[in-house]
């Protein structure tokens, strides 16, 4: 296994080694307070092989760092990450997975369905609301659906699901998804301008959907900053619902391991302005980072964590979007079993 000091130097102090596996190295991602599964090499054949298997490539200090494909088994905060959209099934799935030795259970599935697939659970202190795994190749993306289908046929599922039938209300989520062909003219113009003036993102690929339905509940701000890596479909949704495309700014800070390389798109002066910072949030590290940047430029930040995955992400934000509810973070109480309790309150419209 690569020495700790060598890995820290190669990754600009961001990754610490935890455990070596056949196909890679489990590491602790210090800036984002979570685990990743990586492979470090300078061999072009190894890089080509990993890329074909679905790994993502990023440059390190001297070598290249490849990150394994990851998938979500269950997520309480965001319904569309799950293999089912039924809210009672989602909480049933979450509870059963947490009661299992999930590595052992998944390896039994792999033995039947996949050959030489290695899976690594990415559980940790800052992933309370999501259960995620990494895999040695992109076949890992098939596991959530297979796991769900197998569990749903079990007696344990029948007992667990019966319990939640009486606890949770039946309701549809109020999140809207609209395809690009149906966008209003303001959203389409914003999309075209982005593609024309900043072709780097066009090469990466734009999302072709807008996600919205909650933006009118957000306190008014002068400027709305979205992080493009995960936030473009929400920026499109914001314009689709609110129409304030001239107040939207994109600020990318995921361009390097040490976050020293940034890209601002539709840059605006922040001094004396109320500035909403909006991003999907695992640990709130990006929101914290941009919050400090906004303050340094004289703005007043309001941090919005979309579909937070941890207690820390909630505590470090001003508002969160959980399922389809935008709520002040200060209203959330972190008692025992807080994640499940929060899910129940949101589904039952108690918050």
User: In sequence order, what DSSP letters do the residues of 273-310 get, joined into one string?
Assistant: -EEEEEEE-SSSHHHHHHHHHHHHTT-EEEEEEES--S
* Residue 2: per-residue pLDDT: 72
Given pLDDT bands bounded at 50, 70 and 90, which one contains residue 253?
confident
Angle at 138 between CA 278 and CA 230, to 5 degrees: 10
**What is the rounded average pLDDT of the residues 39-66?**
93
How many residues are given for the chain?
351
pLDDT > 60? residue 153: yes
The answer for residues whose C-beta is within 8 angstroms of residue 333's C-beta and 6 or more apart is none
Residue 51 scores a pLDDT above 90: yes
Residue 94: count of CB within 10 angstroms of its CB: 22
pLDDT of residue 126: 62
Residue 318's closest CA among 286, 266, 268, 276? 276
- The span from the CA of 292 to the CA of 172, in Å, is 37
Residue 1 banded pLDDT, cuts 50, 70, 90: low
Interatomic CA distance for residues 317 and 278, integer angstroms: 10
Q: For residues 199 and 194, what is the distance between their CA atoms, to the nearest angstrom?
A: 8
| Mean pLDDT within 158-176 | 92
pLDDT of residue 285: 86
**Is residue 5 within a helix (H) or strand (E), and if so which, with residue range?**
helix 4-10
Element (H, E) at 48: helix 44-52
Tell which wins on pLDDT, 33 or 35: 35
pLDDT greater than 90 at residue 252: no
Angle at the Cα of 243 (from 241 to 249), degrees rounded to 5? 105
Architecture of domain 176-347: 3-Layer(aba) Sandwich (3.40)
What mean pLDDT is predicted for residues 19-42?
90
Give the chain's mean pLDDT: 90
Higher pLDDT, 253 or 133: 133
Kindly report, residue by residue over 340-349, the tens digit of the pLDDT: 999 999 999 9
Identify the band that residue 282 occupies on the pLDDT scale cut at 50, 70 and 90. confident
- Average of pLDDT values for 49-67? 93
What is the model's pLDDT at position 276? 97
| Whole-number percent of the chain with pLDDT over 90 | 70
What is the DSSP pairing of strand 319-322 with strand 274-280?
unpaired
Q: Do 290 and 227 touch, CB atoms closer than 8 A? A: yes
Residue 308 in tokens: 């937070």
Query: Which tens digits make up the pLDDT trace of 89-141?
Result: 999 999 999 999 999 999 999 999 898 999 999 976 666 899 999 999 999 99
Closest CA to 257 of 53, 66, 45, 55: 66
Number of Cβ within a 10 Å radius of residue 91: 22
3-state secondary structure of 47: helix
- Residue 83, pLDDT above cutoff 80: yes
> Residue 259: pLDDT above 70?
no
User: What is the C-alpha separation between 322 and 129, in angstroms, rounded?
Assistant: 10
Residues 6 or more apart whose Cβ sits within 8 Å of residue 232? 201, 206, 207, 226, 250
pLDDT at 257: 60
- For the segment 200-229, what is each residue's pLDDT rounded down to a tens digit? 655 556 888 999 999 999 999 999 999 987
pLDDT of residue 3: 76
| pLDDT at residue 212, rounded to an integer | 93
The whole-angstrom separation of Cα 237 and Cα 224 is: 12
Vertex 21 angle, CA 20 and 23, to 5°: 125
Domain spans, the chain: 4-68, 75-165, 176-347
pLDDT value at 295 more than 90: yes
pLDDT score recorded for residue 40: 93
pLDDT at 61: 87
- Residues 284-288: what's their mean pLDDT? 89
């Amino acid at each position: 296994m690569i020495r700790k000091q060598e890995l820290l130097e190669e990754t600009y102090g961001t990754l610490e080694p935890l455990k070596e596996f056949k196909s890679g190295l489990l590491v602790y991602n210090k800036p984002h307070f979570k685990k990743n599964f990586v492979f470090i090499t300078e061999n072009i054949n190894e890089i080509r092989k990993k890329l074909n298997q679905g790994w993502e490539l990023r440059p390190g200090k001297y070598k290249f760092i490849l990150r394994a494909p990851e998938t979500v088994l269950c997520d309480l905060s965001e319904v569309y990450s799950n293999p089912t959209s039924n809210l009672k099934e989602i909480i049933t799935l979450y509870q059963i997975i947490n009661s299992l030795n999930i590595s052992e259970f998944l390896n039994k599935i792999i033995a039947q369905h996949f050959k030489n697939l290695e899976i690594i659970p990415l559980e940790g202190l800052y992933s309370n609301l999501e259960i995620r795994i990494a895999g040695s190749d992109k076949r890992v993306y098939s596991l959530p659906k297979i796991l769900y289908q197998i569990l749903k046929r079990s007696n344990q599922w029948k007992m667990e699901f019966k319990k939640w039938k009486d606890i949770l209300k039946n309701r549809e989520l109020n999140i809207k998804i609209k395809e690009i062909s149906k966008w209003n003219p303001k959203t389409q113009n914003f999309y075209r301008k982005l593609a024309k003036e900043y072709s780097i993102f066009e090469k990466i690929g734009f999302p072709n959907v807008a996600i919205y339905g909650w933006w009118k509940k957000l306190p008014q701000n002068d400027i709305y900053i979205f992080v493009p890596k995960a936030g473009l479909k929400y920026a499109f949704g914001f314009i689709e619902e609110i129409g304030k495309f001239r107040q939207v700014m994109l600020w990318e800070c995921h361009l390097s391991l040490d976050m020293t390389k940034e890209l601002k798109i539709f840059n605006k002066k922040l001094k004396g302005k109320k500035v909403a910072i909006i991003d999907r949030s695992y640990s709130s590290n990006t929101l914290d980072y941009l919050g400090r940047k906004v303050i340094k430029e004289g703005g007043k930040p309001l941090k919005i964590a979309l579909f937070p995955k941890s207690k820390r992400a909630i505590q470090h934000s001003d508002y969160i979007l959980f399922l389809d509810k935008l709520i002040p973070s200060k209203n959330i109480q972190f008692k025992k079993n807080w994640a499940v309790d929060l899910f129940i309150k949101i589904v039952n419209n108690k918050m």
